[in-house]
Homo-oligomer: A and B are copies of this chain.
Amino acid sequence: MISNIAELIADRIGTMPASERRAAQTLIANYPMIGLKTVAEFSAAAGVSSPTILRFVSRLGFQNYPEFQSSLQDELAAQLQSPATRTLNPPSPGGGTVSPMLEATLDNMRETFRHLSDKQLADIAARLADRRGKTFLIGGRFTDPLARYMAAHLAVIQPNVFHLAGQESMWRDRLIDMGKRDVLVIFDIRRYQNSLVRFAEKAHQRGVQIVLFTDQWLSPIARFARHVIAGRTAVPSAWDSSAALFVVAETLIGAVTRQLEAEGAKRIREMESLR
């Protein structure tokens, strides 16, 4: 079974005329980057003419050059999705139900944080730590618990943190309390919920700053969001995993806490004395 273009070339290079073989060799030598450049560059690098490159990709079975490039890109994307571990760690011979799930989850987290800069998190944390406005949190069918989790922590270290629970009509009415200085944290992964999208839009219209936790395909809410956190969710299970988003949430909670250190500590002590 031939699964990638490199193998395909190795398979057919024997049947190719001299110039096309040179094209094949240059591609293999600079795989796959040279194939993503223009025909002209490719041909120059291989020391052959453009038509030769085109005949070459055509011989590989592609209709045209762009199609060939797309194929290379897909291959590359698949590679980038699964970082080193996938190829390094054989899928744990024990074949338990645990390992694959755990491995995938760990990968998801690494991958999620790879796309997340310190600066971005710091920005969001600063926004959440800004005490001039209120903070609202809400989530979808399966992600609402994440919103609750975050709300539970934030509420300890600062006032004016509200988790929007209950019926849609309930939180819709809260819109009236929201304004420019306020922040709305939304969790929404596939399948995206229309009610949330509508809500986000209305909040956005009121000038509320939206922080969105979503999956890599981006909820439509991204359209209205000031900050978007895209977590990986794919695991070998019937369900998507929110674990990566959960960890991002915890990281943010930690960052906000640090920023509010001084006042937060006082507040926590005060709260303890009340319990």
> Which A residues contact B (CB, under 8 angstroms)?
6-7, 10-11, 13-14, 21-22, 25-26, 28-31, 33, 36-37, 47, 73, 76-77, 80, 83-84, 86-89, 92, 94, 96-98, 101-102, 105-106, 109-110, 113-123, 125, 141-142, 144-146, 148-149, 152-153, 216-218, 222-223, 225-226, 228, 230, 235-239, 241-243, 246-247, 250-251, 253-255, 257-258, 264
Contact = CB atoms under 8 A, between A and B. Distances in A.
A114 B89 contact: yes
Number of copies: 2
A234 to B, nearest CB: 12
B86 A6 contact: no
B146 A145 contact: yes
A33 B70 CA distance: 10
12 contacts: A29-B115, A33-B76, A83-B84, A97-B118, A97-B255, A98-B118, A101-B254, A106-B109, A142-B149, A153-B239, A239-B250, A243-B246
3 pairs of A and B residues whose beta carbons are closest in the complex: A237-B254, A10-B117, A96-B118
Contact of A250 (B21, B22, B28, B243): B243
Given A109-B102, A113-B98, A257-B239, A118 B142 contact: no
Contacts of A235: 250, 254
A242 B258 CA distance: 18
A11 to B, nearest CB: 6
A222 B25 contact: yes
